[in-house]
Amino acid sequence: MKMNKKAGFTAIIGKPNAGKSTLVNSMLGQSLSIVTPKPQTTRNKIFGIYTKDDVQIVFADTPGILDPKYKLQVYMKKEIESSFIEADVVILVVDGASYSRDYLQEVFDTYKTQLENHKLFCVINKIDLITNEVVLHIISDISTNFKFDEIIPLSAYKNFNVAELVELIKKYLPEHEFYYDEEIIASQPERFFVAELIRETVLMMYSEEIPFSVFVDIDDYKERERGKDFIRASLIVEKDSQKKIIIGSKGSKIKRLGEHARKKIEDFLGKSVFLELFVKVRKNWKNDEDFLKHKFKSGTSTL
């Protein structure tokens, strides 16, 4: 007897740097989301698609839960809230190395209505950094004070217990036809991920002043049957001083940025590309509501 297909949506939420993107990448078996040591690297809701046998899970990797301080972060908060709408399962990721009951209570208080209508998992991440005794204490504290359908300790970085988490998610999915073709691994177009790879390179290469003030826009993307694909991207910053830092003396920094980003893009696309980078100043873009509305709506640029 043929097994019926199961398919559904899973939202991943949690504090900045709790390991949400690492977890999604680990479950998918490839990198779709930016992973750096710096918090708040995920700005857009990113859909990664896991398909195996008769099961399809659509993961939404969301920005870290935070108290918005400017309009960009308001839009990031909306990305989190919108991820609840279609979710069959919501996974709250907590950093086991810095566990806080108060933080969990704050999340429940903030999203009480949304969380009540979903199967709710608590993932205790980074258990490779703490002792088994501490893990057991955290599990006991969570199960005593909060209502979760499942509590799963794991290490996304070490890929420990990740397969077990995927199996648990499958158990809670409804019977449904697949939402996406089996060969599709992400809902966004390739140019979105190209922009993400450029932004990831900026995050890794520059000082604290620069990365979170950079927006990446893909101005032109030409796929060619012969020769290299052509990509032209603009790095938009808030200040002239930031533009100078990104470009560097005689263009040395932006040249190195382009080289590193190009290699990442070629690895991701599996083909050679010609990458052209420009730096533009748009003062206070993080609080420019019209700019943010347009970019979030388009979904082809990365904030």
Predicted confidence (pLDDT) per residue in 152-200, tens digit: 999 999 999 999 999 999 999 999 999 888 887 776 677 877 888 898 8
What is the tens place of the pLDDT at every residue in 53-64? 999 998 887 655
Q: Between 84 and 138, where is the model more confident?
A: 138
Query: Quick one: pLDDT at residue 117?
Result: 75
Percent of the chain's residues with pLDDT above 70: 80
Per-residue pLDDT at 139 exceeds 90: yes
pTM: 0.65
Q: What is the CA radius of gyration of the chain?
A: 20
Whether the Cβ atoms of residue 80 and residue 107 lie closer than 8 Å to each other: no
Q: What is the pLDDT of residue 210?
A: 65
Write the CATH number of the domain with boundaries 6-171: 3.40.50.300
pLDDT digits (tens, 9 = 90+) for 98-116: 999 998 888 888 777 777 7
The pLDDT, as a whole number, for residue 209 is: 60
Question: Could you read off the pLDDT of 248-260 as tens digits, one per residue?
Answer: 999 999 999 999 9
pLDDT category of residue 66 using cuts at 50, 70 and 90: very low
Give the pLDDT of residue 165. Answer: 97
Q: Mean of the per-residue pLDDT values for the chain?
A: 82
pLDDT top residue among 269 and 189 = 269
- Binning pLDDT at 50, 70 and 90, where does residue 1 land? very low
Q: In which band, very low, low, confident or very high, does the pLDDT at 36 lie, cut at 50, 70 and 90?
A: very low
- Give 33's pLDDT tier (boundaries 50, 70, 90): low
Q: What's residue 193's pLDDT? A: 79
**Which pLDDT tens digit goes with each residue over 72-98?**
555 555 655 566 667 899 999 999 999
Going from N- to C-terminal start, the domains of the chain cover 6-171, 190-298
Q: What pLDDT shows up at residue 176?
A: 93
Is the CATH number 2.40.37.10 carried by domain 190-298? no
Mean pLDDT over 284-290 rounds to: 78
pLDDT given for residue 70 in this prediction? 45
- Is a pLDDT exceeding 70 seen at residue 240? yes
Whether pLDDT at 68 is above 90: no
